[in-house]
């Protein structure tokens, strides 16, 4: 019986990996809640004091991603087809993480514009630690408006969401991805074809007691402490590759663009999951959406 269960587990893992094959990956990282980390804390204090556990989780996730060669910030798009698989394996096997929910969802995308995509995702996404409309908007942001030729066809949109209760007592994170096909119009514009989409969400709870118990060893293994804001930056596809017109506008050392300003406007607006509001967003953004510069493929 044990042998049969082991074989079934291996088969399910192999099936999941086979279903996450991709030609190109883009990623975003998000933090919700309150970061209570003391930025000046020593490495061992990051792991043995619950208030510092947001940075502890950020450091662990960053190292697991870096060890897997999942480095979206340094690439236009990631084309290493094994990096994401390795990252998922490392997260799943890390002893300080406890999986609390794992959901697969398949749904058909019949309307092939960007806004219908966001609306369909918001209706299928299960709001574990982030509202569905916000998660859907994050996925929507990852779809490039234009592609170079030859363009990758099989895309994986990845999202890592970290949430802290503000006391360091309960920290959760979710790894969610959508696998979809994108094609290139003759004009270079991205085309979303009618297709069946796969959405997977895995939620983990951080075992704070385990982090405290193993703080000394962790402070040596994870000697590069990464604060939450740096984690969000490093685990997200670099926004400079989404600037319009190739302009290198900066403000306070940080790249900005009309597109990013538009995204902030939408993020600051309370969006409800109704067809009327989606139509309102669609109508208003037709006047405010700016072209995105073409993405260059990164090896």
Q: What is the pLDDT of residues 270-285, one digit of tens each?
A: 333 323 333 333 333 3
Mean pLDDT rounded to a whole number for the chain: 77
Write down the pTM of the prediction. Answer: 0.75
Whether pLDDT at 39 is above 80: yes
| Local structure of residue 291 (DSSP, 8 states) | P
Cβ neighbours, 10 Å, residue 1: 5
CA–centroid distance for 75 within its chain: 15
More confident residue, 16 or 41: 41
Residue-level pLDDT at 218: 95
pLDDT tens-place string over residues 243-299 = 332 233 323 333 333 333 333 333 433 333 323 333 333 333 332 232 333 333 333
Whether pLDDT at 115 is above 80: yes
- C-alpha distances (whole Å) from 221 to each of 33, 96, 215, 232 are 27, 14, 10, 21
**What is the average per-residue pLDDT within 139-160?**
89
Pairing of strands 154-164, 24-33: parallel
Residue-level pLDDT at 79: 84
Q: Report the alpha-carbon distance of residue 63 to residue 191 in Å, rounded.
A: 35
Residue-level pLDDT at 240: 54
Whether pLDDT at 175 is above 60: yes
Residue 185 CB burial class (10 angstroms; 0-12, 13-18, ≥19): exposed
Short-list 142, 192, 185, CA closest to 24: 142
Q: pLDDT band for position 146 (50/70/90)?
A: confident
Whether pLDDT at 96 is above 90: yes
Query: CA-based diameter of the chain, in Å?
Result: 62
Residue-level pLDDT at 16: 44
């Amino acid at each position: 019986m044990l042998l049969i269960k082991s074989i079934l587990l291996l088969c399910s893992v192999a099936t999941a990996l086979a279903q996450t094959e991709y030609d190109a990956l883009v990623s975003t990282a998000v933090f919700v809640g309150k970061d209570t980390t003391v930025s000046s804390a020593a490495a061992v204090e990051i792991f043995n004091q619950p208030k510092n556990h947001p940075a502890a989780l950020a450091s662990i996730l960053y190292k697991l991603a870096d060890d897997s060669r999942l480095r979206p910030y340094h690439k236009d798009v990631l084309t290493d087809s094994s990096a994401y698989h390795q990252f998922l394996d490392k997260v799943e096997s890390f002893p300080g993480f406890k999986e609390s929910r794992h959901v697969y969802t398949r749904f058909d995308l019949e309307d092939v514009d960007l806004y219908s995509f966001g609306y369909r995702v918001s209706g299928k996404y299960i709001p574990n630690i982030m509202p569905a409309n916000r998660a859907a908007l994050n996925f929507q942001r990852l779809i490039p408006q234009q592609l170079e030729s030859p363009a990758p066809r099989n895309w994986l949109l990845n999202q890592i969401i970290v949430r802290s209760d503000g006391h360091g007592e309960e920290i959760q994170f979710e790894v969610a991805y959508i696998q979809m096909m994108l094609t290139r119009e003759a004009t270079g514009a991205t085309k979303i074809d009618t297709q069946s989409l796969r959405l997977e969400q895995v939620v983990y709870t951080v075992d704070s007691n385990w982090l405290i118990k193993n703080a000394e060893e962790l402070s040596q293994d994870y000697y590069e402490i990464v604060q939450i804001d740096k984690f969000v930056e490093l685990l997200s596809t670099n926004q400079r590759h989404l600037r319009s017109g190739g302009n290198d506008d900066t403000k306070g050392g940080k790249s900005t663009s009309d597109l990013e300003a538009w995204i902030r406007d939408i993020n600051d607006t309370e969006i409800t999951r109704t067809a009327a509001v989606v139509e309102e967003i669609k109508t208003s953004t037709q006047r405010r959406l700016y072209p995105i510069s073409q993405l260059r493929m990164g090896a």
